[in-house]
Chains A and B, each alone.
Chain A
Amino acid sequence: MIIELGHFALVLALAVAAVQMVLPAWGAHTRDARLMQAAEPAALTQLALLSLAFAALTYAYVTSDFSVENVWANSHSAKPLIYKISGVWGNHEGSMLLWVLILALFGAAVALFGGNLPPSLRANALAVQAAIALAFLLFIIFSSNPFVRIPLQPEGRGLNPILQDPALAFHPPFLYAGYVGLSMAFSFAIAALIEGRTDAAWARWVRPWTLAAWVCLTLGIAMGSWWAYYELGWGGWWFWDPVENASFMPWLAATALLHSALVMEKREALKVWTILLAILAFSLSLMGTFLVRSGILTSVHAFAVDPARGVFILAILVVLIGGALVLYAWRAPQLQQGGLFAPISREGALVLNNVLLTVACGTVFVGTLYPLALESVTGDKISVGPPYFNLTFGPLMLPLLLAMPLGPFLAWKRGDLLGALQRLLAAAGIALLALTVTLALTWRGPWLAPFGIALGVWVVAGALSEWVARVKLFSAPLADSFYRARGLPRAAYGTMLAHAGVGVAVIGIVATTAWQSEAVLSMKPGDSAHIAGYELAFRGVAPGRGPNYQDQIGLLTVTRAGAPVTELSPAKRTYDAPRQTTSEAGIHVAWRGDLYAVLGDELADGAFVVRLYFNPLVRLIWLGALVMALGGALSLSDRRLRIGAPRRARRRALAAPSPAE
């Protein structure tokens, strides 16, 4: 009964989405306030209905109801409870349901907290949002229905063991919140095009939604990378895999959008460009969904491969993106252009940021899609790997990172480059010092790496010097600086943290890439190995038993210069259902880097293949992403406090646009 009620709620949500698409848009067109106001309850109702559907599916998973095909195909009664719950979105159908649920959450947030938007803008934006929901609900009900029933099955097939990991509980919801959050910017862009009017208020409205989406996307990507790092057992953190790229491209576009919306808000410039970016950012996240879900790519994300689904999503893509771009081509020329600015100015710096980010996004796009296009046209299979991306993406990041600390020091309209450089002298000095020290420490090479480290340090120090300059840390009395630091808007802290986070991540990336050590050995119990100053003694392999798997645990005692450090226990884990083996890496975390061990197959002579890695400073990559996300969150918290006048009280309630529950 609960399951069928959930199914009914899902279908009813589709009907409500249709109503929400038609009535408010019609109302906005005829300037009828009542019709426009129908958008709000419709958006809230949609959220309620989809929550009901999602709860029903979760219930079916928790109670292991194998009369539901989706549960039978992806769950097992002996699975631990947390994986029964997170398994709801650990499959194609359930993850699409989560997708529309988050979409509805964002729509409902606009309905609740969009009080001081112009009514027609809000009505149109919610109508566009409903159109997206309608498309995806049709997709779910027709070709990926999670509520399809089958004759009772004795036992479920179980969840892909790679997904039986706590990270499954967080990585997809955050990533989806990021993808779907960009739909808000998209809906606002379309609504602005329909109205033929955009202004600073528009930009200010789009920014918090984009920022929220960006924070979630940053966290989602970082978590995915971390998950791949410790679960797949390859010792790497990023592989330029098409699935990763599919999430990275919207991130790049969203980052560009955040910065261009800033120009639009402050100076009413770059309007047409900002609208285009808003459309592109969401288009890229739709494309990511398509790539990952259509089965074009084979990976852990491409659960069940079904060509019909691919065609369906492709159709959604063509209608939504194509429609948006046609509307853009038609209406964008009618938008008013705004303020003028000199090339050397805050605007100029942000334009440079946008150019570099979009070109970088373009190179990733080409590298991801070209092999697919080539294969479908000529049948040739090529793989575009890290060398391509390192050669194209890397050089584009170089000027971006070099210029990044400069931007915040430039004034709007007309900036003083020399003055900005002077104020960054200290940061440059620190970067030079870092360069010298790293060169001295690692004179054996690779010789480019110390420059990379110096670049990261430059970005961090540059971000901090902006704060130092604003609070006059060394030029004014300490108490005065403290007072200034407290008075500084949170958005300023957000910028500082986000920029510094990029620098931290850069340091981690350069160090790990340049100085990773790796060894593949065949070890017998009693053997020992050396890597990066550690000595590892292999003590043998012991069996272990978990709730639904069997372990073969290798024991490695790690010492460093004779002193005991830790014990690593990499394992090969064989699950009961489905019968599959995963490798659980043994990782020792330290400030200087991760010691990473993977247990491989047993060889004929009783030895085991053991792969060892040392990844210097690898944690900084995720720490950097975390700091970036924190910066975004801080900036977001500021915005809500000081955004609008007429409804200040209600603005405060905007505390909850963050969809990441």
Chain B
Amino acid sequence: MFLWIAFALLTAAVLAAVLAPLARPARRDEASTAADGGTVAVYRDQLQEIQADHTRGVLSADEAEAARLEVSRRLLASAARAEDAEPAASPPALPSSRHATIALATAVVVPLLTLTLYLAYGSPGQPARPFAARTDAAVEQAALAGMIAQVEARLRENPGEGRGWEVIAPVYLKLGRFRDAANAYANAARLNGETVVLLAGRAEAAMLASDGVVTEEARVAYEKILKLEPGRVEARFWLAMAREQDGRLADALADYQALLAEAPPDADYRAPLTQRIQEVTARIAAIETGAPAGPTEADMAAAAKLTPQERAQMIAGMVDGLAQRLKRNGRDLAGWLRLLNAYAALDRKDEARAALAEARRNFAGDAGALAELAKLANSLGLGS
């Protein structure tokens, strides 16, 4: 209610200020004297300046006289123009009734327009929520936020407190702050010792942070898990996935098949395993028949069914797999060209440039390959 009163008062004050000139008689003095007063003042000023320049010796007597003449001519012309314009300048102003109508129309339109727009975009019912007022009094709504803030503040002071990192890591993961989660898990493991739970959390967060790619960080974590608890299915599955993403398809297939063979008949991970086995088999077959080692038809069909986000993840996974493979074996020109194209299509310019530089290093001395790289780089706009 108070808010609406404030709105009304503000609007009224604005209208009163804006419409005041319509209600009172025009300031005659200004309307008439100032009409050309400015112009005349400027010329008079110029005359003075000429005089000053003359006294200072910048202008000779002849020059000063000529300049004075010219300015005087303009001064006269301007005065004449002002006189001509005089009758036009003060015609009978609009009748007062017209002014009243205009004022009334303005007084209706302004609040109407303001209210319409404000109601469309404003949130009059929503109270302000300053941060300070929230952290001490708002257990109701922002309990989680408060807790995070408190733990974060404590960790800033004592970054060596492993317990804090352990508490906050899963919260980050749940909130979708994957990078923070991975870091928190890493800190917890460093300070409290590496446990299966902490390592698995770190690996999961790291994978989610990089759109599903089993990164080096995740791979190392899973390998450590296998040392602590050999045979853990989750770790074995993701390591197989890592191999698949690296392009080591035969190894990946063998791992998947082994996992499937050991799986209890009612295990819920049989379905994803079967799917991976099908896909990897298809890719191996495609390579053997000499088809371009790109995505298989099955991949494409699968990709078509995915949500855009999943598709982006799948593409990123394939591209990163290719990049990793080329890092180990850099003598594959076709692979480099494909990688550059992929980076350009994904608009990952910096990586494209880095890849280009690395490819050039690998093929230093091979003029044919370098020419091909340069051609592609040019057409992709990567500079030379």
Contact = CB atoms under 8 A, between A and B. Distances in A.
Interface stretch (A13-21, A276-284, A433-441, A609-617): A13-21
Interface string B99-141: 1001000100111011001100111101111111110000001
A579 B156 CA distance: 14
B126 A199 contact: no
Contact of A646 (B41, B121, B130): B41
A373 B28 CA distance: 54
Contacts of B6: 1, 5
Interface string A479-517: 000001001000000000000000000000000000000
A9 B10 contact: yes
B126 A16 contact: no
A411 B129 contact: no
Interface in A251-271: 265-266, 268
Interface stretch (A41-49, A180-188, A238-246, A391-399): A41-49
A642 B48 CA distance: 10
B131 A339 contact: no
Contact of A34 (B3, B10, B45, B99): B99
Contact of A33 (B26, B39, B78, B113): B26
Given A5-B6, A646-B41, A37 B26 contact: yes
Given A31-B90, A119-B34, A41 B18 contact: yes
Given A1-B128, A40-B21, A8 B102 contact: no
B272 interface: no
A199 B3 CA distance: 50
B298 interface: no
Nearest to B147: A154
Contacts of A380: 381
B122 A4 contact: yes
B31 A119 contact: yes
B14 interface: yes
Contacts of B59: 411
Contacts, number: 219
A644 interface: yes
Interface in B21-78: 21-22, 24-28, 30-31, 33-46, 56-59, 63, 66-67, 70, 74, 78
A16 B18 contact: yes
A205 interface: yes
B301 interface: no
A148 B21 contact: no
Given A1-B127, A65-B131, A38 B141 contact: no
Contact of B128 (A65, A204, A413, A645): A65
A152 B142 contact: yes
Interface in A561-612: 576, 579
A65 B26 contact: no
B127 A646 contact: no
A155 B148 contact: yes
A607 B22 CA distance: 76
B263 interface: no
B59 to A, nearest CB: 8
A60 B113 CA distance: 25
Nearest to A265: B42
Given A37-B27, A149-B126, A152-B141, A118 B148 contact: no
Given A155-B149, A204-B42, A383-B381, A117 B21 contact: no
Interface string A502-540: 000000000000000000000000000000000000000
A263 to B, nearest CB: 13
A77 B149 contact: yes
B88 interface: yes
A11 interface: yes
Contacts of A545: 156
Contacts of A647: 34, 37
Contact of B149 (A1, A7, A49, A154): A154
B113 A118 contact: no
Contacts of A205: 38
A148 B127 CA distance: 13
B21 A34 contact: yes
B383 interface: yes
Given A14-B117, A201-B39, A5 B10 contact: yes
A1 B152 CA distance: 30
B117 A11 contact: yes
A487 B56 contact: yes
A163 interface: no
Given A4-B123, A67-B128, A470-B58, A199 B39 contact: yes
Interface string B140-177: 01101110110010001000000000000000000000
A40 B18 CA distance: 8
B11 A646 contact: no
A644 B30 CA distance: 15
28 contacts: A1-B6, A4-B126, A5-B10, A8-B118, A12-B10, A14-B113, A31-B89, A31-B93, A34-B99, A35-B22, A38-B19, A38-B22, A45-B14, A65-B130, A77-B131, A115-B34, A147-B122, A154-B142, A154-B144, A154-B148, A155-B145, A382-B381, A383-B381, A413-B66, A470-B56, A472-B57, A579-B180, A646-B41
Given A38-B21, A201-B41, A470-B58, 9 more contacts: A11-B117, A11-B121, A12-B10, A12-B110, A63-B128, A65-B128, A119-B31, A154-B144, A199-B39
